[in-house]
Amino acid sequence: MRMLVVDAFTDRPFAGNPAGVCLLPDAADPGWMQRVAAEMNHSETAFVRPVEEPEADYELRWFTPVMEVALCGHATMASAHALYETGAVASGGPIRFRTMRSGVLTVTRDETGRLSMDFPACPPEPVDVVPDGLAEALGVPVAAVGRNVQDDLIVDVEDESAVREIAPDIRALAEIDARGVIVTAAAGEGREHDFVSRFFAPRVLPGDAEDPVTGSAHCALGPHWARRLGRDTLTGHQASARGGDVHVAVRGDRVVLSGAAVTVLDGELRV
């Protein structure tokens, strides 16, 4: 089977968010997919196989090293990039992915190579009481907190510097009742982006628990900042060590997430 590693939400290698992409000829056992994802040890590894269905061209599933997830933006972008780059899909033609828990996701590529993904919006709802220990685990004052249907907390902090410099207590953060914690603030004056964020998920990600660039988080961040800034088209910068940009267009109950991707490895899986 062909196996690729693609850096998503970036136009240069070793930035953005790396994802493994396994191009399957047919259905595979979920336990085997989980073991492959653990071996790859990226935040997510995607498994893609062709299907013949009226509404979809491929099945898509995503696994972290420890579990299957319901939605993953960067590994979806990486999967589409892999299909275009390997010639499985004509350049620019839409790719319709059937997923188990997030419906049909469509990806297109324009003449510049920019990929656009049509995803469900996941706007956060305000949380009346800040969860116990959250501010202490993050190590910064918390201005406001929301929660979305993906069970992520969206935490507003004072400014862009606070987002960039945050160094949370990961063990304490793992005790917070949430899948992940998105920390965000408006961009500083003169920036090309509109907002910044970082994403921590100690319950599902190994190591320092930080995801470099998170597409699914922008399904919440897009509506969140569209309300705040009064605009439906925004650019987010995820300020991890690798860093990456996500262009977001809010379209009612959907968001279009756009960006670039780069192949850094293309090989053969032998097991």
The CA-to-CA distance between both ends of the chain, in Å, stands at 9
Which of 47, 36, 9, 78 has the alpha carbon at shortest distance from 257? Answer: 9
Catalytic residue among 44, 85, 160, 210: 44
Structure tokens at 129: 């009481």
Which of 79, 42, 59, 73 has the alpha carbon at shortest distance from 204? Answer: 42
| H-run or E-run covering 202 | none
Residue 263: which region, alpha, beta or left (left: phi > 0; alpha: psi -120 to 50)?
beta
Q: Using CA atoms, how far apart are residues 266 and 89, in angstroms rounded to an integer?
A: 17
Examine the residue annotation and report whether 53 is marked as an active-site residue of this protein: no
Task: Give every CB contact of residue 172 below 8 A, 6+ residues apart in sequence.
Answer: 133, 136, 137
Single-letter residue type at 10: T
Q: Using CA atoms, how far apart are residues 37 and 140, in angstroms rounded to an integer?
A: 34
Residue 19 CB: number of other CB atoms within 10 A?
28
Task: Give every CB contact of residue 112 below 8 A, 6+ residues apart in sequence.
Answer: none
Cβ-in-10-Å burial (0-12, 13-18, 19+) of 169 comes to middle
- Residues recognised as catalytic: 44
